[in-house]
Amino acid sequence: MHSCISVMPSSSKVAELSVFALLAASLIYSQNAISQGSSTLIAKVENDLDPLVVTATRFNDKFSNVNAQIQIISKEEISEIGATSLGEALLTLGNVNSSTSSIGGPLGTGLNIDIRGFGATANANTVILVDGVRVTAADSSAVQWESIPMNSIERIEIIQGGSAVLYGDRASAGVINIITRPEITQKNSASAQVGSYGFSLLNANLGFEKNSLSTLIQVSKAHVDGWRPQSQNDQGSVRGLFTYKINAKDKLFLDSSYASNSNGGPGYVVGKVNTGNLQATRPINLNERYVGNTSRHLLGIVKEVSSGLMFENEFSYSYTNRTSYTPAYGADYGSASYYTGVYEITPRFKKQWQYFGTSILGFDLREENYTSKTIGVTSREAQLRNTAPYFYQRINLNDQIEFFAGIRHQNQSANARDVPSGLQAQRTQSASANEIGISYRVNKNNLDKFYIKTSSSYRFANTDEYWASTAASSYATYFNSILRPQKVRGIDAGYSGRINNQLNYVFNAYQMNSTDEIRYDGFNFLNTNSDPIQRRGINSSVQYTPTDATRIGINLTYQTASFTSGSYSGKTVTTVPNILIGLNGAYQVLPKLIISANGNYVGTQFYANDDSNIANKMPAYLLFNLGFSYSPIKEFSIQANIKNIFNRGYSNYGYYSSPTSYFYMPGDPRTFYINARYTF
């Protein structure tokens, strides 16, 4: 049996574009049929002069003070598109790309987010934070997205470009900070969502406050049968947040969560994208499945030490257990388990000077432990200890010009042991990051702002990147080496502003040059420090709210990534599309009814492992989604969404083995979802 996904001819593509053009035109030119006294349900641009408070400097700060390309995705926007996973929200509303070599699906398991064209190593070059605390794993595995329930998200902050001064290792491409900790206690709510292929998602929030103590409990449970054999997925999470407010500025908080995931392994489809039998399971993937759980516990404090001097600190511990069951690999490699444990302490101070601007001084201590077992027997162990002081300074030269600079120095001590061979390795390394730039506010009374900066960043090898695989099986490994840290030097220039409290816009251009970039060599089955790579790009984001009933968002990215010397000089980095385009909008047709529509275009890209650029490219694809939201009363809403409405066949990840051997992970076909939410 073959999938119902259709591979559309060029004439159908024209039809797609025509339909979506009509949708876009209706959003732009529709008249506001809503009376002035009716409530507005749609997410829109704030009318205050500088309303947004963001955490890009690791402290709460005004949006206008951030000297970087930053995009904010609100919970209202996420709700409008009916996102079933964080990956979907980021791809649809953010100026980023995504890919998965795992199951993917509507729950986003195994999804990697790519900022600025890092391709296969994107997850190792982008720091993912939850409320300012890292959730990026110590190894190369994808973020455990199931530990971040969709109903817990207040907003998402996407900071593009090198951010290593403030965030350290692995922030070469940027930072994504998912804010889930509300400033005020959330209202109680419950929601249920059902959809195609046995999809179900249950969420519940329970919050209450008494005197200075507030409590928030969040529970989530999800399941999907999947549209391919062995693509079933179960997820669950529970979280407790307890906050004690000492006064208006000082507080203590305890944040604990636990999440689990279990999914099948459908494996790759054999052939070029949109060919082959999408319902076939290769013998090597028969009965393949993966289970895992992750837990995070955090104790934090926010304290005003004196007038203008703030202190914040988090002490966190997290662990992740993952086990893969692959019977086809035989008795020696039929199962493998991985454990990562991380301790982190992050004290920092922020001082607002009367004449000297703002200073940030901090210290990060992070310890990581990694263990891998095959058939229950320990085969690999690694321990890392990272220490890094950092300093960041902003100086207002006048009401419109600001100078900013920062520096970080990180020391890492790495120990690795390969149990079968008895080999052990120890290496102490260091790396530094810096940033310097200037910004100019066009008018001191508005948000129009230009900035230019140069920065350097770095990343150390992940713990599992010390080992290489044999050609026989990815589970048969041997110790390779502790690689040198990767270095990236970049320059950014950007302009952002607002027009008539209706239109927000951001424009950015950049160039990044990396040396010793840590990449996987698919032909030799090992990680290595690659030849130099240069990345260039321009991107922009526009959000327009012409009326209280209409919102339109446009994201555009053009990017290149290529080797500048060595055996692949002039060749394009694989799995990096040149063009990304996103269009999203919502229109309040009636006082209680909203229609939303969005589309994403992803350009052509080379298959993974085709560093020589000799194979055919993966085809570009264009996806459209449509949604309807109805709120008969303020406390209750019901939503319907159609994803991939033209049932377009596509893939965001594939790899090349030989001129006759291609493999890819197909994207989801057309799906339908209905969601009901009650707030009390």
Beta strands in 516-635 (DSSP E): 518-521, 526-529, 533-547, 550-563, 579-590, 593-602, 605-606, 617-618, 621-633
Which pLDDT tens digit goes with each residue over 490-542?
Answer: 999 999 988 888 898 999 999 999 999 999 988 888 899 999 999 999 999 99
Average pLDDT, stretch 382-393?
A: 97
The pLDDT confidence band at residue 11, using thresholds 50, 70 and 90, is very low
Say if residues 47 and 121 touch (Cβ distance below 8 Å). no
Q: How confident is the model at residue 557 (pLDDT cuts 50, 70, 90)?
A: very high
Which residue reads 């998200």 in tokens? Answer: 153
Question: pLDDT confidence of 388, banded at 50, 70, 90?
Answer: very high
The pTM assigned to this predicted structure is 0.90
Binned at pLDDT 50, 70 and 90, residue 31 comes out as: very low
- Maximum mean pLDDT: which of 44-53, 597-606, 654-663: 597-606
Region 209-216: what's the mean pLDDT? 91
- The pLDDT, as a whole number, for residue 499 is 87
Q: Which 3 state secondary structure label does DSSP give 64?
A: helix
Structure tokens at 406: 């920062």
Taking residues 325-349, report their average pLDDT: 87
pLDDT tops 80 at residue 454: yes
Closest Cα to residue 133, out of 175, 101, 94, 173? 175
Q: For 576-585, how does the pLDDT look when each residue is reduced to its tens digit (9 = 90+)?
A: 999 999 999 9
Fold adopted by 10-679: Maltoporin; Chain A (2.40.170)
Pairwise CA distance, residues 640 & 638, whole Å: 7
Q: Which pLDDT does position 51 carry in this prediction?
A: 53
How does residue 221 score in pLDDT terms, banded at 50, 70 and 90? very high
Least confident of 17-26, 340-349, 384-393: 17-26
Output the CA torsion 86→214→76→301 (10° steps): -60
What is the structure's pLDDT at 95? 80
pLDDT at position 92? 86
Residue 28 in this model has a pLDDT that exceeds 60: no
Mean pLDDT across 222-230: 95
Looking at residue 331, its pLDDT comes to 66
Domain boundaries defined on the chain: 10-679
Please check the confidence at residue 20 and state whether its pLDDT lies above 60: no
Nearest alpha carbon to residue 231 among 665, 576, 570: 665
pLDDT for 607 beyond 50? yes
- Pairwise pLDDT comparison (88 vs 220), residue with the higher score: 220
| 375 three-state secondary structure | coil
Q: How far apart are CA 665 and CA 680, in angstroms?
A: 42
Predicted local confidence at residue 45, as pLDDT: 47
- Residue 207 corresponds to which tokens in the numbers above? 């919050």
Q: Which residues pair with 497 in a beta bridge?
A: 505
Tokens 């996973």 belong to: 85
Q: For position 186, what pLDDT does the model report?
A: 60
Q: Which residues does 286 contact at the CB level (< 8 Å), separation at least 6?
A: 327, 328
Q: Percentage of the chain with pLDDT > 90?
A: 64
Q: How much is the average pLDDT of 241-255?
A: 94
The pLDDT value given to residue 587:
93
pLDDT at 3: 38
| Average pLDDT of the chain, as a whole number | 88
Measured from the Cβ of residue 484, the count of other Cβ atoms closer than 10 Å reads 15
pLDDT band at 16 (very low <50, low <70, confident <90, very high): low
State residue 632's pLDDT score: 94
The alpha-carbon radius of gyration of the chain (Å, integer) is 24
Whether residue 257 is predicted with pLDDT greater than 70 in this model: the reply is yes
Work out the pLDDT band at 70, boundaries 50, 70, 90: confident
Average pLDDT value for residue range 302-330 = 92
Question: Any idea which residue has 């992940």 for tokens?
Answer: 462
CA distance readout (Å), 635 to 192, 202, 678:
15, 17, 6
Tell me the C-alpha distance between 234 and 227, whole Å: 14
SS3 label, residue 271: coil
**How do beta strands 486-499 and 449-459 pair?**
antiparallel
Looking at residues 312-340, what average pLDDT do you find?
88
pLDDT at 44 over 60: no
Place of tokens 């969040």: 218
Of 389, 404, 407, the closest CA to residue 348 belongs to 389
Q: How far apart are the first and last CA of the chain?
A: 46
- pLDDT-derived band at 5 (thresholds 50, 70, 90) equals very low
- Give the pLDDT mean for 234-242: 95
HSE-up (13 A, CA, CB side) for residue 484: 10
247 burial level (CB within 10 Å; 0-12, 13-18, 19+): exposed
Are 178 and 116 spatial neighbours (Cβ–Cβ below 8 Å)?
Answer: no
